[in-house]
Structure 1
Amino acid sequence: EEKHIFSYYDSPEYSSHELKKYSLFNSIYAKARRINIRNKYRIISGYKKTGSILDVGCGTGELLKYFRDKEWKTAGIEPVKKAREFAINQNKLQVFAEEKLNDFENAAFDVITMWHVLEHVYKLNERIEELKRILKPDGVLIIAVPMIDAYDAVHYGPYWGALDVPRHLYHFSQKTLAHLLEKHALTIDKSYPMKMDAYYVSLLSERYKHAGAAYLKAFSIGFTSNRKANASGTYSSMLFAVRKN
């Protein structure tokens, strides 16, 4: 049930919003996150050079901090209190609880982002309509989600790290995501691979499957997933730039 789900975000295994004590795994995660932030900025700045951005599910606000330093107007939504308070107190960002999403004015943002967040949302259709309401007519909605039909998803089956039960409520393919967005008069403008995710998710999957991090095996599966995706077009995770019809 929705009222119980937040206890799972406090799990020691859930590290999306914070890095705990040093380990090789967390060190790799931190370096990958820094690279990903730069890549995300590059893609978004291809649509908007500057403006207002809302990051829904912003965690501790590392992405927003990067955009703020590039002179964007930033805001975040983060349901997990611990991460939200870190973003506010340590990163000095404007970050609000999830229920505050309804308080934003119509057409308030040039860019709205959801990085591996859509699959967590209980009221999926209502959330998409709310995001559409606060997005400017010429704005762009950025959605990043894992792909249920990617090679590594099929390879690992029930051990695939991006299944993330019970936190992930939905699992998308490109086709099912496009269909969902079309219901709300939204269209995918362009898709982008998130190639580093194949390695990270494969490493998670190895931990779940073997109760340990088999780095070489995870690298091999991640590499194979990306290589096969170069032909199929379906990567482990993908970023979609979405516009209003």
Structure 2
Amino acid sequence: MKQVTYAKQTINNPNPIARFAHQSRVKKSINYTSHNLPDNGSILDFGAGQGYFLNMLAKEKPYANLYGYEPYMNLQHSEFIQVKNLDNLQSSSLDVITAFEVCEHLYDYELHEFLQQTKRLLKPEGTVIISVPIMYGFALIPKELNSMFLWKRKPNYTTVEFWNALWGKQILRPNSLKHNHKGFDFRWLENILKQYFIITKKSFSPYKYLPWYINSQCFFECSKKK
């Protein structure tokens, strides 16, 4: 598989359609977070990557306390405090917890561990903001074409799998989830989130007023159950 930097696959993608989708996602992430984060509040970005999101957020919220949890990528920004163990953070200490394009890479036990930690760390009136890719519906077509023709990767789906996913029918996920979105279903994640939180808002990106099967990302805003 051809190795391509995360930025080049997303916000700096040579494909203008893919680049637009990812830049729209980042813009929405900043807007949602800025709206929910007090000026001097505290936020944890779970799966902070190279720190691009927190770097952008620091410009909007210069007095906020920014924490980033990232066990895999090398950080390229220093506007936040790196967290290596969530157990070291105090309970009920965070106003906002974000996880952008992360949950699709977590195994079931990792997802539940993350959500349990989120419940512990979040303040009573805090907000959880999560975005995940939509890997079903018609947006799958440009995603796969982008992967095959731009990055010269082998097809990720059989013909039957692709047809089923195109029409919203669930397909099996691969054994390794860390570098593969195939088969991830945001509708499944929505049901898991409801076990832990109240979903106060669900939206799609980049086309706010179009149905999910035309979009590439789904956003959830959640609050603690009373």
Question: When the two structures are superposed, what TM-score results if normalisation uses the length of structure 1?
Answer: 0.64
Q: 1:44 aligns with which of 30, 33, 36?
A: 33
Per-residue CA deviation, residues 33-62 of structure 1 (Å, 9 max, x unaligned), is: 665444322222333343111111111112
Aligned residue number for residue 5 of structure 2: 15
Aligned residue number for residue 45 of structure 2: 55
Looking at structure 2, the residues matched to 147 and 31 of structure 1 have their Cα atoms a distance apart, in angstroms, of 15
CA contact (8 A) 1:48 1:110 kept: yes
Matched positions, count: 190
The CA deviation at 1:136 is: 0.9
Q: 1:121 aligns with which of 106, 130, 147?
A: 106
Amino acid at match of 2:157: P
Aligned CA distance change for structure 1 residues 152 and 101 (closer, same or farther; 3 Å): same
Aligned residue number for residue 101 of structure 1: 86
Looking at structure 1, the residues matched to 127 and 90 of structure 2 have their Cα atoms a distance apart, in angstroms, of 17
Q: 2:66 aligns with which of 74, 78, 98?
A: 74
CA contact (8 A) 2:186 2:218 kept: no
Q: From the two aligned structures, give the one with the greater helix fraction.
A: 1
Aligned residue number for residue 190 of structure 1: 201
Mapped pair 1:239 → 2:219 = yes
Amino acid at match of 1:55: D
Find the residue that maps to 1:230 and give its secondary structure: coil
Amino acid at match of 1:102: D
RMSD, aligned α-carbons: 3.4
Question: When the two structures are superposed, what TM-score results if normalisation uses the length of structure 2?
Answer: 0.69
The CA deviation at 1:150 is: 2.8
Aligned CA distance change for structure 1 residues 146 and 24 (closer, same or farther; 3 Å): closer
Which ranges in structure 1 are unaligned for 5 or more consecutive residues? 1-10, 196-225
Looking at structure 2, the residues matched to 80 and 12 of structure 1 have their Cα atoms a distance apart, in angstroms, of 19
Amino acid at match of 1:47: N
CA contact (8 A) 1:77 1:95 kept: yes
Amino acid at match of 1:192: S
Which ranges in structure 2 are unaligned for 5 or more consecutive residues? 145-155, 163-172
Amino acid at match of 2:112: N
Counterpart mapping for 1:199-238 below 5 A: 230-231=210-211, 235-238=215-218
